[in-house]
Amino acid sequence: MSCSLFQIAELDEDRHFELSDYQGPVARWCSGCGDHSVLTSVQRVLAEADAIPERTVFVSGIGCSSRFPHYLRTYGFHGIHGRALPLATGVKLSRPDLDVWVVMGDGDCISIGAGHWIHAVRYNVDMTALMLDNNIYGLTKKQTSPTTPQGYSSNTQPYGSWLPPMNPLEATLGVTNASFVAQTAEWLPAHLFSTLRAAHEHRGFSWVRILQRCPHFTADIFGDAVKDPSRVELLVHDDGITAPGLDRIIEHRTAHDPSDIDAARRLAEESDRLRLGLFFRDESRPRYEETRHLPHLTVDDKLAALEKELDRHAV
C-alpha cells in the first residue's frame, strides 16, 4: 500500500511524542557535568514541540558536548573538530524540511571552528546552534580554550592563560546579519529551557551560549555564581526570555529590548555579573536558504551535469 506525501503529512500531524521518545542510551558524561542538564532541556523542548524524531537532526563536532547525537533518538551526525556548522548548513540546505540542531563546545565553535561560526551567523540558515562553554578543553584533559580566564592554570599553560578570554557574545553580535543571540546557564534549568525553546521557535540562525561547569577541570569558574545568585543578572522584557520561578532567586534584573542591537552590544561587554537572557532577535534578517536562487534539477539532470563537468577534465 502506497501513501502520498499529503497522506504522510496527515499521519505526522496525528502523532504525539513524550520525553521518552527522544531519550537514547544513558549519557556517559561525568557525574555533575552540565551536559546532562542541557540534554534534558533539549529533550523537553522537542517533546513540547512534538518534533518528529526522524525529521530532527543533531550535528556535532568534537568534544564532551559533541557526544550529544549519541544520546538522542533522532538522526545525528558526529563530525570532526570545528566543522559542525558547515555540515549542519549542508544538511539544512539539502533538506530544508528537517529540524536541524548544532551542538558545540567553546573550543569546537570559536577556536578551530571560528571561521565557520562567523559565516554561519552571517548566512542565517534556519537552525539552532548551542555552544556549551565550560572555559576549557575538557575531553582532551584541561587545555586552555579561547574562553579560559586570564591567569587560569591549565595543562598547556600551567602558569596561567596569557591572554584575556574571548567574549563570544560581543563577537557574535558584531557579525553582519546576526538574528538571534542569547546566553543562559545549565544550573538554572528554568531559564535554560525557556531560552532553548525561544531559540528553537526562531526562524533563522539561533546562537545560544550556555555557561556550564566541568566538574573535573573548571568546577570553580562558575562556582561563585552557583552559590551566590547575586552574581547573576537577568535581561527581562515582554519579548525576551520568561523563566517562571526565578523571581525569588535572581534579584538583579535589567530591562532590555532584544530588538535594540546597540544596547545588546553594550550589555554583552564584561561585567561583575553574569548576564543571562535574550540579547538580540530579529526575524526579518534574510535567511540564506530563502535568498539564494537555484534551478530545480531532477536526479537525472544532476547526473548529466556532473558527467558533463567530469568530461571537461578528461585527458
Provide the pLDDT for residue 294. 66
Q: pLDDT digit string (tens) for 204-224?
A: 999 999 999 988 888 888 888
Rg (CA), the chain: 21
Tell me, yes or no, whether 261 lies in a domain. yes
Tell me, yes or no, whether 98 lies in a domain. yes
Q: How far is CA 108 from CA 17, 54, 93, 183, in A?
A: 32, 26, 22, 17
Domain count within the chain: 1
Tell me, yes or no, whether 307 lies in a domain. no
Tell me, yes or no, whether 305 lies in a domain. no
Provide the pLDDT for residue 299. 86
Show the cell assigned to 159.
602558569
Q: Would you say residue 290 has pLDDT above 90?
A: no
User: What residues does 255 pair with on adjacent strands?
Assistant: 236
Q: Residue 190 maps to which CATH number?
A: 3.40.50.970
CB burial of residue 263 (10 Å; 0-12, 13-18, 19+): middle
- Cα dihedral 33, 181, 259, 95, rounded to 10, equals -120
Tell me, yes or no, whether 2 lies in a domain. no
Show the cell assigned to 39.
540534554
pLDDT class of 92 with cuts at 50, 70, 90? very high
Give 110's contacts (C-beta < 8 A, 6+ positions apart).
Answer: 117, 131, 146, 147, 166, 168, 171
Q: pLDDT digit string (tens) for 3-40?
A: 443 344 455 667 889 999 999 999 999 998 999 999 99
Tell me, yes or no, whether 151 lies in a domain. yes
User: What is the domain extent for residue 28?
Assistant: 16-290
Specify the range with the lowest mean pLDDT, choosing from 10-24, 57-71, 166-180, 300-314.
10-24
User: What residues does 208 pair with on adjacent strands?
Assistant: 130, 182
Provide the pLDDT for residue 7. 44
Tell me, yes or no, whether 5 lies in a domain. no
Show the cell assigned to 136.
576549557
Tell me, yes or no, whether 155 lies in a domain. yes
Q: pLDDT digit string (tens) for 154-209?
A: 888 899 889 999 999 999 999 999 999 999 999 999 999 999 999 999 999 999 99
Provide the pLDDT for residue 147. 83
Q: How far apart are CA 18 and CA 47, in angstroms?
A: 6
